[in-house]
Amino acid sequence: MPDITQEALQSIHQMMVDFRRDLHQHPELGFEEHRTAAKVSEALRSYGIEVHEGIGGTGVVGVLRNGGGNRTIMLRADMDALPITETSTHGYTSKHSGKMHACGHDGHTTMLLGAAKYLAENPLFDGIVVFLFQPNEEHGLGAKAMIKDGLISQFQPDEVFGIHNLPGAPLGEFSSREGTICASESLFEFEIFGQGGHASMPQVGVDAILVGSELVQALQTIVARKLAPATGAVVSVTEFITDGQRNVLPGHAILKGDTRSFTSQDRNEIERLMRQIANGIATAHDVRIDVRFNTEFEETVNALDQVKAAMHAASGISDQVLPNRARMSFSEDFGRLSAEVPGCFILMGNGTEYPNNQPLHASDYDFNDDALTLGAAFWARLVSEQLPQKDS
């Protein structure tokens, strides 16, 4: 088995730094990653890798074959940025107002490109490697669009892996877990149709604010009293919109919010209870309440064999490996892929010092360039271990 280490990729470190910082200066939102996709495609072709463009809109897939094996491993990176105005002070800040790479997707893309270059020059594997560069992860639409465009049926991966950086975790730390690692995200909306009226005569109408306030309170009982303790579910009302004025009681209101859960059973139960609560309150006040519940991200679930493989590869380049980390409450579009193919989602430490420990989506967050060769080495080692050469 070839001994692939972080040091083996030091020769391309500066290339990766330059590429990552260029992406950081030119962030593109979901399904708008035209420049990013073009640069990724150009880089892959320069490495001699077969390129497929326009999958799922702006998605890019690179295919590298070696030996006679047909086993296929898919490695995924996300490319999109966020609608955030950057407040960083380094020398490569976003050139596009209101857009920035505040989640590290610039680093994820670059790490995978570094691994692609290394493996193209050092084909220490027997089989097929599919390098997946996905658009629109932030809104949970990119993986779905690529799958709809035939991603799985065309490239037929046997397994799929993805990495996300984790601010605040030490540089060099790799962690994952079997089963659910990231929560689902469902967006909900309650639309209340009451009867507006004069603020001095509330008895004449039905105040939508009062009805909405009861809803807000009642929704909190779902996690507190209806689900088993320690489920990790979250229900948050994030918007309360009415047509009221200074002396006008509103007859119409909209409540919007977000819920997270770690199992489809809890997710379905939350939706059922929301509709039950809305029906009860609507009946009590003789109003109509329409409920909309849309799951943007499903739970991300890791398969045991792929977790073992990822953690074994990580242990070859780091002594900071956590194979049974705690679940994360954020959501990930990788869950769409691991629902189709056995997979593993891995978290990699971004460092504990500013700005690499700033929260994801913070306006002064930055990916840690020291993690680039570490991540690329992990990818290369994982490929060599999962697709071993026959003489190794």
> Which residues are the active-site residues?
80, 137
Residues in the chain: 392
Q: How far apart are CA 104 and CA 350, in angstroms?
A: 9
Which residues pair with residue 51 across a beta bridge?
62
Residue 194 amino acid letter? G
- Tell me the C-alpha distance between 143 and 134, whole Å: 7
Q: How far is CA 15 from the centre of its chain?
A: 26
| Contact by Cβ (8 Å): 164, 391 | no
| φ, ψ for residue 303, nearest 5 deg | -90, 145
* Whether the Cβ atoms of residue 80 and residue 105 lie closer than 8 Å to each other: yes
The CA distance from 130 to 205, in Å, is 62
Q: Characterize the bridge pairing of strands 72-78 and 159-166.
A: parallel
